[in-house]
């Protein structure tokens, strides 16, 4: 009964997050019944329910079709709607039966499994790697750290080609102030100030291992002159926030990014961050930035 660990990447724009969702189907005869955008008839679902397009559901169905076995797929992180991933982790256990022609025995190889799964997946979802792990491997409980990034596009012109994966802000931000503030977030703290009200956790204490803010703006190609800003404007820049920790609360990274943005705008002083954390008051932190700039980069295990 081999257990497989999958490393998964996806563009979260058109997904309703990671976690499988099968809400009750609305009554078609009731004009007041709520509409459920994103419901997909092609996804398996329970009677009387509809299946929303989530990463877990799409990937789990692809695995079932590939190995012809009713497996249960467990994911490590419940990313929200619109959030992307480069290193999401999921796992399932197969029970091969050669006589019935079901399951995926180790002898068939992990590379073949990756190719077979990707052949059944849509363009915005990709299995990057597969490996056989212990039959007790738990993607959630065995996790020791996670890393996220949040990318901001600073410009008075909207981004076009990668608009689905960056957050556009019209404001110029002070990188040094943001870097100074980021260091105050490192360590074990009560992050109640940086969590959504409905985070659903018994404790809001978490440990941040590292938090950096980097200018990742691309220089103009050789032989080209960078576009000059109009009078009163500022050159377009791109900043990336990278944060790693033992775990994160609901919307914590998006609120953290919003707080650092306010520091960059001069709305919050970098030295105020310890007081913001100590207050445990959500109103003292910055806004919750939209999901498109957020990406789950990696998940690490013992």
Q: Which residues are catalytic?
A: 80
Output the 3-class SS for the chain: CCEEEEEEEECHHHCCCCCCCCCECCCCCCCCCCCCCCECCCCCCCCCECCECCHHHHHHHHHHHHHCCCCCCEECCCCCCCCEEEEEEEEEECCCECCCCECCCHHHCHHHHHHHHHCCCCCCEEEEEEEEECCCCCCCCCEEEEEEEEEEEECCCCCCCCCCCCEEECCCCCHHHHHHHHHCCCEEEECHHHCCCCCCCCCCEEEEEEEEEEECCCCCCCCCCCCCCCCCCCCCEEEEEEEEECCCCCCHHHHHHHHHHHHHHCCCCHHHHHHHHHHCCHHHCCCCCCHHHEEEEEEEEC
CB 166 within 8 A of CB 181: no
């Amino acid at each position: 009964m081999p257990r497989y660990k999958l490393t998964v990447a996806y563009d979260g724009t058109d997904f309703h997050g990671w976690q499988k969702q099968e809400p009750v189907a609305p009554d078609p005869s009731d004009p007041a019944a709520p509409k459920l955008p994103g419901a997909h008839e092609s996804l398996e679902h329970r009677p009387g329910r509809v299946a929303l397009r989530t990463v877990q559901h799409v990937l789990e169905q692809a695995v079932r079709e590939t190995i012809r076995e009713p497996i249960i797929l467990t994911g490590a992180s419940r990313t929200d709607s619109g959030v992307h991933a480069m290193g999401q982790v999921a796992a399932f256990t197969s029970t091969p039966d050669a006589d019935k022609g079901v399951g995926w025995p180790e002898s068939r190889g992990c590379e073949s499994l990756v190719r077979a799964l990707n052949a059944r997946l849509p363009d915005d979802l990709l299995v990057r790697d597969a490996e056989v792990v212990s039959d007790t491997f738990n993607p959630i409980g065995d996790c020791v750290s996670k890393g996220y990034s949040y990318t901001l596009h600073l410009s008075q012109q909207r981004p076009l080609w990668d608009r689905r994966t960056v957050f556009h802000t019209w404001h110029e931000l002070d990188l040094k102030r943001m870097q100074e503030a980021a260091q105050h977030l490192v360590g074990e703290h009560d992050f109640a100030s940086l969590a959504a009200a409905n985070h659903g956790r018994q404790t809001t204490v978490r440990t941040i291992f590292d938090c950096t803010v980097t200018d990742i703006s691309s220089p103009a190609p050789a032989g080209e002159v960078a576009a000059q800003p109009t009078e009163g404007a500022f050159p377009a820049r791109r900043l990336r926030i990278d944060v790693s920790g033992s775990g994160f609360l609901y919307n914590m990274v998006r609120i953290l990014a919003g707080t650092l943005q306010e520091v960059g705008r001069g709305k919050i002083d970098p030295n105020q961050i310890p007081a913001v954390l100590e207050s445990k008051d959500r109103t003292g932190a910055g806004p919750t930035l939209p999901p498109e700039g957020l990406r789950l980069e990696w998940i690490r295990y013992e």
